[in-house]
Chains A and B, each alone.
Chain A
Amino acid sequence: SQQGEEDPQALSIQEGENATMNCSYKTSINNLQWYRQNSGRGLVHLILIRSNEREKHSGRLRVTLDTSKKSSSLLITASRAADTASYFCATDVATGNQFYFGTGTSLTVIP
């Protein structure tokens, strides 16, 4: 499968703690993106990291990419209850016009 795989499948933390989720993939990529999906809603694009980048920040989000290990991580710092959602990585394995989504990490932030 060309899909990425997220780990863990589910994560439950207290508000204020940091949340880390990982994504592993199988083939060489051009880009990797992270998306958030609230229950019953569409996906929201969070951040894109290119294959020549190692780390990227956006607000409370930090994404790392290790192409040698074919893995990426998403760190959410100082989590809030509103961060409760499913998080998906999406990998581009070809032209940059298609992304293949992983199975997602379900994050629950307890107030």
Chain B
Amino acid sequence: EAGVAQSPRYKIIEKRQSVAFWCNPISGHATLYWYQQILGQGPKLLIQFQNNGVVDDSQLPKDRFSAERLKGVDSTLKIQPAKLEDSAVYLCASSLAGAGSGGYTFGSGTRLTVV
């Protein structure tokens, strides 16, 4: 079974620039999550999709962050404009029907550095 694919692995941008991350979940996984993990901290949930609908985006800074899930499969997370404090690893995870059934499968993440 292929894992959760994320790209790019690394990205360096200047503040106020825009950036986009891509995630391809495990085939058949209805639920997709984006997490932000700042160095030395645990992952923080940004947004949760069920198929192509948003279930929870309460912690997503909507003035600069946006996300969509195309046709209930791939997802993109965008930051526009980026701030220095957005430097973090952005993790995508998917699960069959909610994490209570057996946990998430995480991608390797995209490490974003904003300079």
Q: List 17 A-B contacts (CB under 8 A).
A: A30-B100, A35-B106, A40-B111, A41-B108, A41-B109, A42-B91, A45-B103, A45-B105, A97-B48, A97-B55, A98-B56, A98-B99, A99-B99, A99-B104, A100-B45, A101-B42, A101-B43
Of A13-21, A67-75, A88-96, which stretch is located at the interface? Answer: A88-96
Which residue from B91, B103, B111 sits with its C-beta under 8 Å from A48? B103
- The distance in angstroms between the C-alpha atoms of A99 and B42, with both chains bound, is 11
| Contact partners of A101 in chain B: CB under 8 A | 35, 42-44
Interface size class of A (residues with CB under 8 A): 20 to 34
Interface size class of B (residues with CB under 8 A): 20 to 34
List residues of B (41-69) whose CB comes within 8 Å of A's CBs. 41-45, 48, 50, 55-56
Task: Name B's A-contacting residues (CB within 8 A).
Answer: 4, 31, 33, 35, 40-45, 48, 50, 55-56, 91, 93, 98-100, 102-109, 111
List residues of A (19-48) whose CB comes within 8 Å of B's CBs. 30-31, 33, 35, 40-45, 48
Supplied contacts A35-B103, A43-B43, A101-B42, 5 more A-B pairs, CB within 8 Å: A90-B99, A96-B98, A97-B99, A101-B44, A104-B41
When C-beta atoms are compared, the residue in chain B nearest to A86 turns out to be B42
With A42-B91, A97-B48 in contact, is A104–B99 under 8 Å at CB? no
